[in-house]
Amino acid sequence: MDERELIRKSQAGDLRAFELLVLERRAQVFRIARQILGDDEEAKDVAQLVFIRLWQSLGRYREGGSFGAYLHRITVNLALDFARRQGIRERAGETDSAGLEEAVAAGGGAGPEMEPGEIQRIFRLLSRRLSPRQKAAFVLREIEGMSTEEVSEILGMSASTVRNHVHAARRILQDGLRRLFPEYSRGEGGGRE
Amino acid sequence: MRQHREDDDLAGGPDPSQLFRSLAGEEPPEDFWAGFWPSVRAGIREAEMRPAWILTRGRALLLGSSAGVMAAAAVLVAAFLVVPVPWAPEPGKTAVVALPASAPPVGETSPPPVLEDLRSASARVYTFHVGEPEDSTDVILIVDESLDI
Instruction: Note whether A143 contacts B33, CB cutoff 8 Å.
Output: no
Question: Is the Cβ of A30 closer than 8 Å to some Cβ of chain B?
Answer: yes
DSSP calls for A105-119 = HHTT---SS--HHHH
pLDDT at A80 over 70: yes
Is the confidence at residue B115, as pLDDT, over 50? no
CA neighbor of A22 nearest in space, from A3, A41, A1, A45: A3
Percent of chain A with pLDDT over 90: 63
Q: Which of A72, A176, A48 is CA-nearest to residue B20? A: A176
Number of helices and strands in chain B (H, E):
3, 4
Name the maximum alpha-carbon separation found in chain A: 55
B125 close to B86: Cβ distance less than 8 angstroms: no
Q: How much is the average pLDDT of A130-152?
A: 94
**Among A136-150, A175-189, B54-68, B110-124, the least confident range:** B54-68
User: What pLDDT was estimated at residue A104?
Assistant: 56
Cα distances from B47 to residues A141, B34, B35, B56, in angstroms, run: 33, 22, 18, 9
Q: What is the dihedral of CA A46, A49, A53, A54, to 10 degrees?
A: 70
Residue B12, pLDDT score:
65
Nearest-CA residue of chain B relative to A15?
B41
- pLDDT value for A32: 94
Amino acid at B47: A
For chain A, what percent of residues have pLDDT higher than 70?
80
Helix, strand, or coil (residue A73): helix
3-state secondary structure of B117: strand
Contact at 8 Å (CB) between B91 and B69?
A: no
Is the per-residue pLDDT at B137 higher than 70?
A: yes
Least confident range from A95-99, B7-11, B29-33, B130-134: namely A95-99
Residue B107 has pLDDT above 80, yes or no: no
Round to whole Å and give the CA distance between A168 and A130: 9
Contact (CB, 8 A) for B96 and B116: no
Most A CBs within 10 Å, among B4, B10, B19, to test the A interface? B19
Tell me which chain A residues have a C-beta less than 8 angstroms from the C-beta of B43.
48-49, 51-52
| Mean pLDDT of chain A, nearest integer | 84
Confidence (pLDDT) at B1 = 43
Tell me the residues of chain A between 84 and 123 that have a Cβ less than 8 Å away from chain B. Answer: 116, 119-120, 122-123
Distant-in-sequence, close-in-space partners of B139: CB < 8 Å, separation ≥ 6: B127, B128, B129, B130
| Chain B residues with a Cβ under 8 Å from any Cβ in chain A | 1-3, 5-8, 10-24, 26-28, 32-33, 36-37, 39-41, 43-44, 47
| B61 compared with A105, residue with greater pLDDT | A105
Cβ distance of A177 and B19 shorter than 8 Å: yes
ipTM score over 0.85, yes or no: no
A124, A143 contact by CB (below 8 A): no
- pTM for this entry: 0.62
pLDDT at position A65 is 85
- Inter-chain contacts counted by CB atoms under 8 A, chains A and B: 116
Q: Which residue of B has its CA nearest to A34?
A: B23
Output the pLDDT for position A117: 78
Q: What angle do CA A134, A139, A141 make, to 5 degrees?
A: 90
Spatial separation of the C-alpha atoms in residues A136 and A150, rounded to whole Å: 12
Three-state SS for A49? helix
Nearest chain B residue to A52 by CA: give it.
Answer: B44
Output the CA torsion sign for B74, B76, B79, B82.
Answer: negative
CB burial of residue B26 (10 Å; 0-12, 13-18, 19+): middle
Chain A residue numbers with beta carbons less than 8 Å from the beta carbon of B41 are 15, 19
Question: A97-106 and A159-180 helices cross at what angle (nearest 10)?
Answer: 60
* B35/A169 Cα distance (integer angstroms): 35
Task: State the CB neighbour count (10 A cutoff) for residue A32.
Answer: 27
